[in-house]
A and B are shown apart, each in its own frame.
Chain A
Amino acid sequence: MTQMTLAKALTNGMRTAMESDPKVLLMGEDVGKLGGVFRVTDGLQKDFGEDRVIDTPLSESGILGTAVGLALRGYRPVCEIQFDGFVYPAYDQIVSQVAKMRFRSLGRLPMPIVIRIPFGGGIGAVEHHSESPEAQFAHTAGLKVVACSNPADAYWMVRQAIASDDPVVFLEPKRRYWEKADVDETATPVPLHSSRVVREGTDVTVLAYGPMVKTSLEAAIAAAEEGTSVEVVDLRTLSPLDMGPVLDSIRKTGRAVVVHEAVVNLGMGAELAARISEDAFHSLESPVLRVGGFDTPYPPSRIEEEYLPDLDRVLDAVDRSCAY
């Protein structure tokens, strides 16, 4: 058991994957000598060489397009997109090529590619550095989408994503990179595509992932002081969704609030609300509520703290759900 930051947990997870499988390659802008702009790949090029940790041209479509070719040759590329807002130049390669290759080849050509994306706001960045594009990828058949929220999950989930024979969009909560927690590198991890109750409660279920898990846990502590018992589920996997723990929780509490930074319109909350109403309609005491980004582009950073869902907005939704 070692205490480490979420960023360091990712580094260690990738290091372990590279040690155990020589076909694992890292590629991205500044991932080599610099160790990535967030230092998530720090030291890996030094240890594994320039052939396995590749500083690429500034060319996101190139990163994903060449990753397709490398995967066809038997490699397992782990691609870093430097910031969420930079993934769109690679969108065609991800959606039209990576996601569909297995399907259009009648299952013959797997695409074991991991697309790491630091996502979400809260770090005072300039525009295009604070976005939450997860729903766009979760909407694409052929991709899998996961988001880690803490160092232990970061370590195990990145290893599991690399071992997956399906392409995985791996979302990293960039504002939580520097948060520390214990990581047991000898533990037995839960499956990659599983959701988990991270705080038990009886009155309301809060569904969150990535950076909003911590916010939701803080809201649950505050709610408890006011006498409301909030259960928090860390979704972890956004595609496929793991509805089992979600529905179990809602059958217990009868109420659900979904929290994410991404805009609410057609976001993960919309899908969750639909699935909950389909599969747990008779357990619901109130409509599923959503707390998320407004339907605007991400705002300038001086007002992002007001824009981003925070403890108070989560509590407000919890109150509304209970009062219904």
Chain B
Amino acid sequence: MSVAAATTSYAARRARRAGAAQPPVAVIPGPNDEGVQVSHVTADRAPEALESGRDGPRELVQLLTPEGERREHPDYRCDLDDDAVRGLYRDLVLTRRIDTEATALQRQGELGIWASLLGQEAAQIGSGRALRDQDYVFPTYREHGVAWCRGVDPLRLLGLFRGVDQGGWDPRDSNFHLYTIVIGAQTLHATGYAMGLQRDGAVGTGDPDRDAGVVAYFGDGATSQGDVNEAFIWASVFNAPVVFFCQNNQWAISEPIERQTRIPLYQRALGFGFPGVRVDGNDVLACHAVTAAALQRARDGGGPTFVEAYTYRMGAHTTSDDPTRYRLTEDLENWKLKDPVARVKAYLTRGGLVDDTFLAELEAESDALAERLREACLAMPDPDVLDIFDQVYAEPTDELVRQKGEFAAYLASFEGASA
């Protein structure tokens, strides 16, 4: 299907809704509700210009409370069975363990730095498990949970932070792009990739194995970047199949959300012409449901969606950061009560959906994973400095060949050199 055709079908869908009282762009069909106007999305209400970016989760999509109780929502339903929820819990536990182990490895000098995802596990696992194989992900440098969902060996993530490579996994195998460190740049890559899907006829065909979408991950700080705003414009005007998944963890290193925005972030989507929705980022079920709906909308040719996962960075920005200099312990303590992992455990145990054997096996699996990571990290070899000359261009230039040769000879000139 050509891009023009995809646009036409979108227009046709819009036209079918022309009788609706609200602007048609306001509609984000939930999985349980085809195209009924919903109240929590941006476009059907005027932005309250002076509302604080931190102001309240009152429009939060939530399906599992911090106490572990299920909630119904008019537009989003968790259609996962018990096995799937147990699977999400396993993902959450193992992801947190990867993170804990990596932080420990940094503290022991085995990693140069680590960007912890502590507190953001549900946002990442919920959205990551909504992906299909053919979907594509553009992460920041903190999406360790999404990487887990995509089947990227967490050891490969450590390489970047240990300084042995700049991204050791092959994105073509996992549809999980390399980490992007320049804030927000990847949102444009995601949009371009989504435009490629349109041109490949991989959008809006109705074939669940063919239609694909792209998820661009970024944080609250990134929303101030020009590239992110440009990505919103491009995705909007080209109706690109991309989900902008923003983990609003309240902090851009030391700067609070108020330094990035005067309105709740999800409301910005209105100005760009596509729906925005705020989801409880510590609720894995809600994150899954909302992302699944947004992705399906993208795959169907419905265009971009902005998802604001309202969460909290419970750790430091990175292991080099010291959050005690800029935020209150009280905040952290309040957010600990909304822990994304504990609420799923409470739900599963209270409902009798897991037993002690399950929990013990998971703990053993977690220990084994941590041990493997630790051993493999320490065993990770340094790259060969002479390889860098071969990876700049498709073929090394004459000048690079000369530099490599001279440098090899120089290294070999030292007594006892192995080269």
Contact = CB atoms under 8 A, between A and B. Distances in A.
Given A62-B234, A92-B185, A69 B192 contact: yes
Interface string A65-79: 111111111110000
Interface in B142-175: 165-168, 170-172
A106 interface: yes
Describe B's contact surface by its main secondary structure: helix
- Contact-residue size bin, chain A (C-beta under 8 Å from the other chain): 35 or more
Contacts, number: 134
A142 B392 contact: yes
Interface residues of B, number: 47
B194 to A, nearest CB: 7
A7 B168 CA distance: 43
* Shortest beta-carbon contacts, A-B, top 4: A69-B192, A65-B188, A73-B196, A66-B192
Interface in B168-198: 168, 170-172, 177-178, 180, 182, 185, 187-198
B391 A57 contact: no
Contact of A66 (B182, B188, B394): B188
A304 interface: no
Interface stretch (A10-18, A97-105, A251-259, A316-324): A97-105
A72 B193 contact: yes
Contact of B391 (A59, A66, A103): A103
Interface stretch (A107-115, A197-205, A283-291): A107-115
A49 B189 CA distance: 23
A51 B214 CA distance: 19
Interface stretch (B112-120, B224-232, B277-285, B291-299): B224-232
B200 interface: yes
Interface of A: 25, 49-51, 56-57, 59, 61-62, 64-75, 89, 92-93, 96-97, 102-110, 141-142, 144, 164-166, 193, 240-241
A59 B393 contact: no
A261 to B, nearest CB: 24
9 contacts: A62-B233, A66-B188, A69-B188, A69-B195, A72-B177, A92-B182, A106-B168, A107-B390, A107-B391
Given A57-B237, A68-B192, A108 B393 contact: no
A106 B3 contact: no
Contacts of B388: 103
A47 to B, nearest CB: 16
